[in-house]
Amino acid sequence: MPVSPPLIVGMVKSELTSKYDLSSLLVLGCGGAPLEKDVAEKFKEKFPNMDIIQVYIYIYSLIELKKLC
């Protein structure tokens, strides 16, 4: 599931996440800004079955890909 760092922070801080079954979420693709190491560690403590993959795509690459499409 694509997410941004503020959403990860919200999931770490919110108690609402305990009210829902999030077991189907296995991998989160985090992008838009770097995710701080301490936030990632707190997330892993709270959600040990989920992995976060940080995604970095340069705008130039997106422009070049658009030309190919």
Per domain, the residue ranges of the chain are 2-68
State the pTM of this model: 0.75
- Is the pLDDT score of 7 beyond 90? yes
Give the chain's end-to-end CA distance (angstroms, integer).
24
Fold classification of 2-68 (topology level): Rossmann fold (3.40.50)
- Is the pLDDT score of 68 beyond 60? no
The phi and psi torsions of 26 (rounded to 5 degrees) equal: -110, -35
State the pLDDT at residue 17: 93
Please give the mean pLDDT across all residues of the chain.
Answer: 86
Confidence of residue 42 (pLDDT cuts 50, 70, 90): very high
Average pLDDT over residues 1-8: 93
Distances in Å between the Cα of 36 and the Cα atoms of 40, 44, 52, 62 are 6, 13, 12, 25
Average pLDDT over residues 29-43: 93
DSSP state, residue 19: G
